[in-house]
Every structure is written in structure tokens, then in C-alpha cells.
Amino acid sequence: MKKNQPSSRRRLLQLGAALGGGLAARQESARAEESDRRLGKPLSAYGERSPFEKSGRSVRLTKTPEAGSSGTPLGDSYGILTPSALHYERHHSGVPNIDPARHRLVIHGMVERPLILTIEEIKRLPSVSRIYVVECGGNSGGEWGPKTGSDAQRSYGLASCSEWTGVPLSLLMAETGVRPGASWILAEGADACRMQRSIPLAKAIEDILLAYGQNGEPIRPEQGYPLRLIVPGWEGATHVKWLQRLKVTGQPHMTRDETARYSDLMPDGKARLFTFVMEAKSVVTFPSGGQKLNGAGLYEITGLAWSGRGRIERVEVTTDGGRSWRNAQLQEPRLRIAFTRFRLPWTWDGRQAVLASRATDESGYVQPSKQALIEVRGLNSGYHFNGIKLWKVQADGSVTNADA
């Protein structure tokens, strides 16, 4: 390779100017000549990421390390897919180590023909694959209060998007039949706490999947290996992991995790139960909390939007704290109930700026401001926060949440 001439470096400065000063000239000559000529690592059966990459799930521990949650590092995300290794976690009693050859799914209760199925039998049935977001009902729970999350992961990271493969539950329900009066299903996991959620039968028949595949391979242990429910658009806890039992019933089971938890305490002291749908939401992932801009100039604001009600139709971005909004570009394909990546070029003038995004879904629903949400739901709701998230870009380029 030829050494770069002085003129090259001068011209690099021109590109730097075009992009706003970010691409700085360097004294170095062609570094490529110096790169390693020794043979690299040989072929391998199953790959790993580069040792230079350290992005990880944030771990929010409770009193036992087996119960808690860890968020997807959305600030480091690309595209619309979440690597399975970084899919958010929410466990109530740790990740069981299940032998798929011994695991069974029982379908019983108000059915005509109860069933016990092996994983092998389930995998033999007609299947579908769908790219869906899964979001914890408690995602962004910290945003209700005055001290909001410091970065995208810790504020909005209990949401992840994968390609899920499995059997439509409707197919099995057609096999078992349901008895008159059947209207709910109790789903139970094989984790130590036997996590349980009640789901209306109509949803089960509409679009629930018995999923065993995630992003092209078997579901990861933290996400329910070998079998979980995928309940498109509904809060994550209904997507019961390590699924071992479905009981068809005539009423909801009123389990702990749909009464004491995953319910919304309203200002009048009453609690809303079974608020399943995750409404439209979005977050700017760059620039977002904890990141730093390297001087004024051209940047691409980007982020993720999604809705439990379907497709994202519009994402607006503000750089002045909400006084003005511009439409971001939405990346295709825009899939129902999946992350949609949005992008907007932005020339930063080097002064303090407040950034945010606002999503509109195909139902016409517009993501509300935090204030609007609090007016309706009060401050004890805990779950289902989908308010607009503001990031403050400081004059030194550092990015914090807008409360900092």
C-alpha cells in the first residue's frame, strides 16, 4: 500500500469539515501496513464475540441473585434484532437447567382431550416464525419517579426483539377442544416458583405461539428453554418461560403475579388488573445517557420504537426539549409488534440540547409525555410506563437523562 501523501491528510480535513469537524486529521501514515501477518485463529464449531466487546446486560439484583432483572444494552444496539445473549432477563427464581428430553407440556382443564407432549412432538407440528418484541410490564418502572434511568439500558432496557419460532397454540387448542364455558388459560412455568399467569382464551387462539426457537436456534435458557409462550404485544410476564402446563379454565386464576404484581394501582386506590397490552413506546438510543459526542457537527440520531398494537407508523424526534418535532426515517421492513429502527440526521451546534422521540402506531395512538401519563395514572402505577424519554446533551458532549 502506498503511504498517504500530505495532500490526503489535508483532504481528510475537508471531509471533516463536511461532517462538522468530527473526522479529525491524523498524523499517522497508513496503519494498515503494520497489521498482523501471523495466522489467526482456526475454525470453530460455535463462535464467540470479540474479546474487545464488553457490552452486557445490567443486572438489577434483589435480595436473592436468582430473582431480579437485567436489561438489554439498547444504547449499544444495531438494527432491530437483539442478540439472544443480550435479551433482557426477568426471573422470579432463577434459570432452571431443563433437559428437553425429560420436559413435558401438559394441556388440561376444560378441554375435551387432555394432552401430554414432548418437545420432540411439539417440534414436529406445523410451525411459524415471527419477529416480535417482548417487553416486561415493569420496563421503565423507574421513570414514574423523579429520579429516572441514567441510560437507555437502565430506563428502557427490559425490551428485546427476536425472531421466535414455534407452533400456533390455536393448532393445539383445536386438537384438545375446549368445553363450554372455557374462557381463560392458566400458563405455568417449570421454574422453582412455578411462575403462573392467566391469559384469555381468545388471545391464545388468536396469535399465541408455543415457541422453541429464538433467532435461528433453540431458545436460550434465560428466555425459557426449551419452551415458552410468545403472547404478541402483551406484557412479558404473560410469555411464560420454561412452560410445562396450560390449564383451560372458566375464569382467571388470580395468581400472585397478576394481582399483587403486574397490576396498576390507580390514583383512586383501585388496581387495574390484566392490563396486558404494551402501548406504543420509543427511545432514542443514540445519543443516549452515558454516551458522549465528540464535538459539534453532524450526527445521526437513532432509536427504537414499538407497539403492542401493531406497526409503528411514525416517529418524531425533538432536539429542543419538545418545542419542535421532525419526522424520523423509519427503517423497513416495519413489522407488527417488533422493534422499528428510526434515524434522523442532526447537526449539533455544540450547545445544550434536549432530545426525545415520540412514536405513533397503526391504531393512531401517540406515545404520551410523562406528565400526561401521570395525570391519568398517578404515581403508584409502577407498571406500563411508556412516556417520552428525554436525554440532555451537555455542552461538553456528555449525555445524561434530562433530570440530571
Q: Between 300 and 396, whose beta carbon lies closer to its own copies?
A: 300
38 lies in the site for its own copies, by CB under 8 A: yes
Q: Which of 17, 147, 181, 217 binds its own copies (CB under 8 A)?
A: 217
Residue selected from 76, 150, 182, 266 as contacting its own copies according to rule CB under 8 A: 76
Widest pairwise Cα distance in the chain: 83
- Which residues lie across from 90 on neighbouring strands? 69
Residue 332 zone, left/alpha/beta (φ > 0; ψ -120 to 50; rest)? beta
104 near its own copies, rule: CB under 8 A = yes
Please tell me whether residue 151 binds its own copies under the rule CB under 8 A: no
Task: Please identify, among the stretches 53-61, 195-203, 249-257, 378-386, the one whose residues bind its own copies according to the rule CB under 8 A.
Answer: 53-61
Minimum gap (Å) between residue 260 Cβ and its own copies: 20
Least gap, CB of 273 to its own copies (angstroms): 24
Output the nine-digit C-alpha cell for 33. Answer: 501496513
Task: Name the one range near its own copies by CB under 8 A: 107-115, 202-210, 274-282, 366-374.
Answer: 107-115
The residue range among 14-22, 132-140, 149-157, 316-324 that interacts with its own copies, by the rule CB under 8 A, is 14-22
Q: Binding to its own copies by residue 179, rule CB under 8 A?
A: no
Residue type, 196: Q
Q: How many CA atoms lie less than 13 Å away from 90 in the CB half-sphere?
A: 20
- Is 273 a binding residue for its own copies by CB under 8 A? The answer is no
Q: Given the rule CB under 8 A, which of 134-142, 150-158, 243-251, 356-364 is the region that contacts its own copies?
A: 243-251
Q: Is 27 in the site for its own copies (CB under 8 A)?
A: no
Nearest residue (CB) to its own copies, 139 versus 381? 139
Please give the Cα distance from 195 to 237 (Å, whole number).
9
Q: Which positions ≥6 away from 108 have C-beta within 8 Å?
A: 114, 115, 245, 246, 247, 248
Residues 343-402 that bind its own copies (CB under 8 A): 343, 345
Question: Is residue 17 within the footprint of its own copies (CB under 8 A)?
Answer: no
396-401 long-range Cβ contacts below 8 angstroms, 24+ apart: 396/292, 397/292, 397/293, 397/294, 397/295, 398/291, 398/292, 398/293, 399/287, 399/288, 399/289, 399/290, 399/291, 399/292, 399/293, 400/150, 400/289, 400/290, 401/148, 401/149, 401/150, 401/151, 401/155, 401/289
In the set 154, 157, 165, 255, which binds its own copies (CB under 8 A)?
165
